[in-house]
Amino acid sequence: MTRPDVAVAVVDAETPGNVGTIARAVKNFDLADLLLVDPPDLDPDGEAYGFAGQAREDVLPSARELSFDDLVAEYHTVACTAVTNEDATSHVRYPVIEAPDLADRLAGVEGPVAVVFGRERVGLTNDELALCDEICAIPASGDYPSLNLGQAATVICYELRDLTVADSQLPAETHERAAPDAIARLHDRFGDYLAAIDHPEEKRAKAGRMFRRVLGRADPTPREARTLTGLFRRGTLHAGESAPDSEEGDDA
């Protein structure tokens, strides 16, 4: 997937705290820059810097101020809005990309991209929307689709993570599947258990296949396989049937 440079632009924000929250999301998800059109006063001792977390050290102080005209001239702009007013006859606000599809849509865009957010109360104006290249909306409840400005920007930044985050911080896969011989021993114990509880003989093969499918999906660890093997062995003994002598590795 192509990784365009993606910036976040905030137009005429009223609340410094929202700007700080957005700066933090920019840093969380490795977006390129924070762009501000007509921003409020961002006092280094005020709530913008207080809400920005570690983004107070780089993203927020290096935020670039520019005009809306310069924004749409320099960037491929994606206007983010809650109320889309989709109408196939309108050339202003149609069609609309949903947030989960945005990364795939932008993967092939050449040049810098800016996702654009408007004012807390009224969002972007129709004139501003008309100047943007695309429109994006976050699917939400029809009864109350409007999100807080900072929340909306954080959701969009998250949805763009496949384009922007080079190295995920998710833990590495450490799951170890039990060895084939341990799985085979577990199947043998399950067969002994079915016989011990007098499960109908004509149904045992079907039960064995079902158990094999369950284990195939579960990918049991060595310890899980040993524990299940031991449990079936004990169940067999308690059912009053003679079972083979305990094998090494049976661990209930």
Q: Which domains, ranges and CATH numbers included, belong to the chain?
A: 6-164 (3.40.1280.10), 180-238 (no CATH)
Note down pLDDT in tens along the chain; length 252 residues. 567 789 999 999 999 999 999 999 999 999 989 999 999 999 999 999 999 999 999 999 999 999 999 999 999 999 998 755 554 444 454 568 899 999 999 988 888 999 999 998 888 998 998 899 999 998 888 788 788 999 999 999 999 998 888 665 555 556 688 888 999 999 999 999 999 999 999 999 999 999 999 988 888 999 999 999 999 999 999 887 554 554 555 665
Around Cβ 208, how many Cβ atoms within 10 Å?
14
Give the span between the Cα atoms of 238 and 109, in whole angstroms: 67
DSSP state of 57: G
- pLDDT of 91 reads 46
Residue 52 burial (CB < 10 Å; 0-12/13-18/19+)? Answer: buried
pTM: 0.66
Around Cβ 199, how many Cβ atoms within 10 Å?
13
